[in-house]
Chain A
Amino acid sequence: MCGIAGLIHRKGSSNVGQEMTSMLQALKHRGPDSTGFAIYGEPKENTFVLRFKVAEQEDLHGALKIHEEIKRRKDAVDETLKALGVTVKELDEATEYAFRYEIQYDGDMKLLSDHIEDIEGAEILSIGSALELIKDLGDAGVVSGAYGLGDFSGTHGIGHTRMATESDVDIRSAHPYWAYPYSDIAVVHNGQITNYWLMRRQLEREGQRFVSNCDSELLAVYVATSLEKGMTLEETLKKSIEEIDGVFTYLVTTKDQLGMAKDSMAAKPMVLYETDDMVALASEEVAIRAIVPHEIDTWDPYDEEVRVWQA
């Protein structure tokens, strides 16, 4: 089933970490397997936030000498960053296996991403000047608490509560998806893409790389590729409805935009609330009510509807 939610503040920052946590916690019944956030703080000049993991949560409960292995993998990432001339300005260990680095780097982002992902067990969750992507097993409260999102200030974000239907219950298959190796783009999706392999092969022939077998990742790579070709986000989302088959509603974020697209059958829900100050949307109105408790006017976007909002 899955639940998705998005939020954008049009007049400055807010406590978007706490707001997204409340929205996703209200959607917990739609997907108890994992929760993910893509939230956007103030962009920092010449600085990127790199979030990566070197193991799955379940590895901690069974893998041989996993604690030593995690340390070895992290050391390997550190050595790779050093070799590529990356300066690590700040380092946080959110969990034993997931890390947040503030880095300075002016080289090729694909080169950096490829080198890190070549390390066994290492997976980049996101790279962005504003984006921070956090996902793990558990509900929104658990994940938010573990990664300290309660006081995250920012302009916008999207999130996802996952009921695994197409792939495993692990962090790799959890949403949101960062569009490897493009910075600051993330996607959450509710639905199924029926021409996934066809579209994936097309994108792979163009040189794009996928890090999972989850159909939702396709949307992230598709959007990032189109944006890189010079299309606007709105044009990209409209094109996606024509080219991607299946039933879906998805949200996409860039450094300063939040977009929404709904398939031609309108088979997956979305409720929208819009004011001059903010836009909130979610699979169910209860998620919006978690941050706007008073009576509000909401509506369902129609089939093939595409909307883009600016932060």
Chain B
Amino acid sequence: MAGLDSSGHAGEEMGLHTEPLKGRDIKTMFSLENEGGYAYAFAPDVDFNKRGLVDCQDKEATEINNEIRDLIKSGHGTIVLENPGAKHSIIVGILHRMNFIVNGSLGYFGCGLLDGPMVRISGRVGWSFAENMMAGVCVVEKNAGSTFGAAIRGGDLVCKGSVGSRTGIDQKGGTILVGGDTGAFSGFMMQRGRMVVCGNAGKNLGDSMYDGTIFIGGEIQDLGVDAVPAELTDLDKAWLTRKLTQYEMMPEKGVDHFTKIVAGKQLWSYDNLEPSEKKLVL
């Protein structure tokens, strides 16, 4: 049973009041003794050169995901999905490094809760693709639906076509790259990370964003509350060039024309403090 340990006074000199928990089981999620130290303790040992195939034809999502897990358990580090047929909730909860190649399109909630894998999709994806992604890379060759990359915390999420509305809603980190246009309310309540849209952006771009950066290559219909333009620096241009080149999405006219949008930090709930400053105050 957990309890409060009041013997520690580490923060009192700074005016903080802390009571660390004692007697509580803490799971070791990462081992610094391992090479890299970033893999979950339960991550399976897979061989990237061992390739497995899942034919999704006439199968339910659960059946497909179970087949994927069976292949992972048997050491397959690269899995190819054929005939996905825009089915929902495929490739979810993969928490380690490996490769997926999807020959076709996925439906809603595809590639949710990923933490590490590299996914390449030759078709399109539906709503809420890669929701809550922590790490890894997802590349979609065609278009994507709304809420693309909702609440992602890390990794690179790439759509070479256009995406729907509310792209990167609640984005907390990572990078979203879009080759075409994005719809209304993109970057809504964005908190961290970067979003790059080579085409146009719909209305209310970056509405209520707390932090993070949005780069738009085309026209912006209008900005949301508390989203403001900022100067595009040489560092920004270098970063944009590197990222867009990496995914073969560099526009013909380069990156100088991109508009940079950041948080105005005027929201009633925003105190203008950086997170490190907040920790000190709180």
Contacts and interface: CB of A to CB of B under 8 A. Distances in A.
A121 interface: no
A284 B108 contact: yes
B132 interface: no
Interface of B: 85-88, 104-105, 107-108, 122-124, 126-127, 142-143, 145-146, 161-162, 164-166, 183-185, 202-203
Interface of A: 264-266, 269, 271, 284-286, 288-289, 293, 295-300, 302-303
Contacts of B166: 266
A295 B104 contact: yes
Given A289-B86, A296-B105, A297-B124, 11 more contacts: A266-B184, A271-B145, A284-B86, A284-B88, A285-B105, A297-B142, A298-B105, A299-B161, A300-B164, A302-B202, A303-B203
A298 B105 CA distance: 10
B165 A285 contact: no
Contacts of B184: 264-266, 302-303
A123 B133 CA distance: 51
Given A265-B184, A300-B145, A271 B126 contact: yes
A298 B145 CA distance: 10
A295 B202 contact: no
14 contacts: A264-B184, A265-B165, A265-B185, A266-B166, A269-B127, A271-B145, A285-B86, A286-B88, A295-B105, A300-B143, A302-B164, A302-B184, A303-B165, A303-B184
B146 A300 contact: yes
Contacts of B145: 269, 271, 300
A27 B219 CA distance: 36
Q: Nearest 5 A-B pairs (CB), nearest first?
A: A285-B86, A300-B164, A266-B165, A303-B184, A299-B143
Contacts of B126: 269, 271, 284-285
A121 to B, nearest CB: 41
B202 A303 contact: yes
B88 to A, nearest CB: 8
Nearest to B104: A295
A285 B127 CA distance: 10
Given A265-B184, A271-B145, A286 B162 contact: no
A286 B143 contact: no
A279 B202 CA distance: 25
Contacts of B143: 297-300
A302 B86 contact: no
Interface of chain B, main secondary structure: loop
A297 B108 CA distance: 16
A302 B183 CA distance: 6
A303 B127 CA distance: 15
A286 B126 CA distance: 10
Nearest to A266: B165
B255 to A, nearest CB: 25
Nearest to B143: A299
A108 to B, nearest CB: 45
A300 to B, nearest CB: 4
A115 B10 CA distance: 85
Contacts of A296: 105
A288 B107 CA distance: 12
Contact of B107 (A265, A266, A286, A302): A286
A266 B167 CA distance: 12
Nearest to B184: A303
B148 to A, nearest CB: 10
Contacts of B183: 266, 300, 302-303
Which has the most chain A C-beta neighbours within 10 Å: B88, B104, B126? B126
A300 B162 CA distance: 9
Given A300-B143, A303-B183, A289 B85 contact: yes
A296 B85 CA distance: 10
B165 A295 contact: no
B146 A295 contact: no
A266 B181 CA distance: 15
A105 B164 CA distance: 47
A286 B164 contact: no
A220 to B, nearest CB: 26
Contact of A293 (B85, B146, B164): B85
Contacts of A286: 85-88, 107
A115 to B, nearest CB: 47
Contacts of A266: 146, 164-166, 183-185
A295 B86 CA distance: 9
A302 B124 contact: no
B226 to A, nearest CB: 19
Contacts of B87: 286
Which has the most chain A C-beta neighbours within 10 Å: B85, B166, B202? B85
Contacts of A298: 105, 124, 143
A291 to B, nearest CB: 12
